Amino acid sequence: MDRLRPSETALLIGVLSVVLNVLGLSVPVGGIPVYVSPVDTVFLILGLSAVLLKGNEVLEILRNNRIYYALSGLFLLSALFSALLSPDPLPPLKEVLQLAGYMWVIPLILAYRPDVQRVYVLSARAVVIFAAVILIPYFYLFGWVRFNPFNIHANPTGFLFALFTVILAHYGRTWLAVLSSVVTSFTFSRSALGALFASFLFKGYVEKNRRMLNFSLGILSILLLFASPYVLRGFVAVRSYISTTLISTDKGEGKRKPPIDVIRGRNYEILRLLMWEASLKMWQNRPLTGIGPGRYAEQWEASCEADKLPDRLCSPPVKNVDAHNVFIQVLSETGILGFATFILLFIFITVRIVGNPLALTVLFMTFLFGLLQPFPLFTRNLAPIVWLLLFHGGVIRWKRE
């Protein structure tokens, strides 16, 4: 097998460094905690290095993708305008800078002409096998009932392994794809498993020559989705046994993680509806520019203290990082201006990757997941991986004709 080139080695390290997120690195900047994602850091450094080492290729990328940079620039400009008008502009400006890195710097990685397929297959295989090996010890040692070994929350973890499932299946690593979907099910992320099911059905429609394989993997993911509550009961029983028998009780009950969300009952899902309503009510006060990127929690607190939201929307569980719906999030945080430019940008992206089944499926799955969870293209750790796959899949024209 040919050796990996330096740029490909860096990308491989970047994807694999998701396991280091468990360290929880945080750096205070101007009194604001900035969470350092190892994945983001490696990808952004590699993209910036291309400016110095691959200047001609970078200029070619910029010349050949003027429409993309113009549309993404309009969206970023709208987000910047919203950030500057927010009561506390520094946190939203941090969010805008992060988005600019994802949308403008990561495409420059393609100046190195990396073998992205090889990098993603190798990294997906390594992370999936690692996860499968630690799965049983994880539950045995910690007694938790959601698989979240990298400390990026169980739902994004589920999306990460769903993404690996699609990549491995696309490139013919079927059994590894099955293993990855099983690992996904142990995150108990119904959003990830549901998006994975719909994405395989979509991919089977797009790829008629591999329809049976895609439909079979889709059926597997939906079976795992419906089986997870029954598996959960077993894990809760095991967790209870561990808590009472194997774990020292002198640490106190508060030291152990609570059970998975689904044991809270169906009413727990109503929280999303309340979050959407709260987000839209906050947006109505500033419909043109929105409340500012990343300001859902802060604005929620301010609105509840000022009695601008009804009591039923001021229950503590309604507070979260965002509205858990990509369209409502963009509308409420960046206003009508940001929402309009966002839609234009992603129509353009969709048109560009129509001929690439993998990129189109990943974009489809990303939006489905983003209807109920934080949008992966705006999320630390996930965003660089997904953006590069889309850029390589046709969003960015980077090869000489």
Q: What angle do CA 61, 67, 73 make, to 5 degrees?
A: 95
Tell me whether residue 302 is in a domain: no
- CA quadruple 125, 130, 131, 133: dihedral positive or negative? positive
* Residue 325 exposed, middle or buried by CB count within 10 Å (0-12, 13-18, 19+): buried
pLDDT tens track for 157-213: 999 999 999 999 999 999 999 999 999 998 888 899 999 999 999 999 888 888 898
Spatial CB neighbours of 109, under 8 Å, sequence gap ≥ 6:
7, 11, 43, 46, 47, 50, 388, 391
Our count of domains for the chain comes to: 1
Residue 88 lies in a domain: yes
Distance CA 279, CA 331 (A): 9
Asked whether residue 289 is domain-assigned, the answer is no
User: What separation in angstroms does the CA of 4 have from each of 42, 192, 302, 393?
Assistant: 16, 31, 51, 20
- Has residue 301 been placed in a domain? no
Q: Is residue 274 part of a domain?
A: no
User: What would the pLDDT profile of 329-382 be if each residue is shown by its tens digit?
Assistant: 999 999 999 999 999 999 999 999 998 999 999 999 999 999 999 999 999 999
Three-state SS at 34: strand
Q: Is residue 363 part of a domain?
A: yes
Are residues 173 and 183 in contact, defined by beta-carbon separation less than 8 angstroms?
no
Cut 0.75: pTM above it: yes
User: Strand, helix or coil at 39?
Assistant: helix
Q: Which domain holds residue 96?
A: 6-268+307-395
Beta carbons of 345 and 116 less than 8 angstroms apart: no
Is 125 a member of any domain? Answer: yes
SS3 391: helix
Residue labelled with tokens 């099911």: 197
Structural domain includes residue 338:
yes
Q: What are the pLDDT tens digits along the chain (401 aa)?
A: 578 899 999 999 999 999 998 877 776 666 666 788 999 999 999 999 999 999 999 999 999 999 999 999 999 999 999 999 988 888 899 999 999 999 999 999 999 999 999 999 999 999 999 999 998 888 777 766 688 999 898 899 999 999 999 999 999 999 999 999 999 998 888 899 999 999 999 999 888 888 898 899 899 988 888 887 677 677 667 666 655 654 444 444 444 444 444 444 455 567 788 889 999 999 998 899 999 998 888 888 888 888 888 888 888 778 888 888 999 999 999 999 999 999 999 999 999 999 899 999 999 999 999 999 999 999 999 999 999 999 999 999 986 55
